């Protein structure tokens, strides 16, 4: 099997660290300093790809060499972007809005070669349907503190947020925070290109 290149992960997300480790990618973490606000007239897909690119470029600018991976995830309900909640009451409000409804999750990603400036960019999406939630379920989940660092105020993979989900259509790993198949294929293509140059 082709050895995937190591990366510098421009993210402080523990979920993204777990996903890279899952597919055997060696990585170091350098959290980016980037303004994550949405621009006027920017679609959610454009926003997550731009922010992923912005994060990767910010970290790549500090490195002499290496592949830098940036990513950004957002939740969209009725054309409104739901980012990370500002506080527990905001998290509860988001979860009540998501209750019993379908929403879309987008995760943009970007790989930037610090030495050459070459970039590969992509975006994954998934439609997620919540079952109807009771207020006590929402309050108990918010009290754990887990929703406070997550877009849309829930996590699908490692906490109570998993039991809120009735159905998912699309890429599960996009909802976790990184479209693994897309990123793997991009890294594999880079590895193939590098190996052909060495021949």
CA distance 89 to 69: 32
| Contact yes or no for 55/34 (Cβ under 8 A) | yes
- Helix (H) or strand (E) holding 72, with range, is strand 67-77
Find the catalytic residue in 72, 113, 136, 158.
72
User: What tokens were used for 185?
Assistant: 């294929």
CA distance 80 to 82: 6
- The residue to which tokens 């309900």 are assigned: 77
Tell me the angle at which helices 135-143 and 88-98 cross, rounded to the nearest 10 degrees.
140
Count other Cβ atoms within 10 Å, centred on residue 77: 17
Instruction: Classify 64 as helix, strand or coil.
Output: coil
Phi, psi of 111 (to 5 degrees): -115, 125
- Bridge-partner residues for 80, per DSSP? 77
127 is catalytic: no
**Residues catalogued as catalytic:** 72
């Amino acid at each position: 099997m082709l050895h995937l290149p190591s990366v510098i992960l421009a993210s402080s997300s523990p979920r993204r660290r777990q996903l890279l480790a899952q597919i055997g990618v060696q990585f170091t973490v350098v959290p980016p300093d980037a303004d994550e606000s949405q621009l006027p007239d920017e679609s959610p897909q454009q926003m997550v790809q731009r922010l992923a690119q912005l994060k990767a470029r910010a970290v790549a600018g500090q490195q002499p060499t290496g592949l830098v991976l940036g990513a950004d995830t957002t939740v969209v309900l009725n054309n409104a972007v739901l980012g990370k909640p500002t506080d527990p009451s905001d998290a509860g409000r988001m979860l009540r809005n998501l209750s019993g409804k379908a929403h879309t999750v987008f995760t943009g990603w970007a790989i930037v070669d610090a030495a050459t400036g070459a970039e590969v960019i992509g975006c994954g999406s998934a439609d997620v349907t919540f079952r109807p939630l009771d207020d006590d379920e929402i309050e108990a989940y918010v009290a754990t503190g887990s929703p406070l660092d997550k877009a849309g105020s829930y996590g699908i993979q490692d906490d109570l947020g998993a039991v809120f989900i009735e159905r998912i259509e699309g890429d599960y790993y996009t909802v976790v925070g990184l479209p693994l198949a897309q990123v793997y294929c991009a890294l594999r293509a880079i590895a193939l290109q590098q190996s052909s140059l060495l021949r």
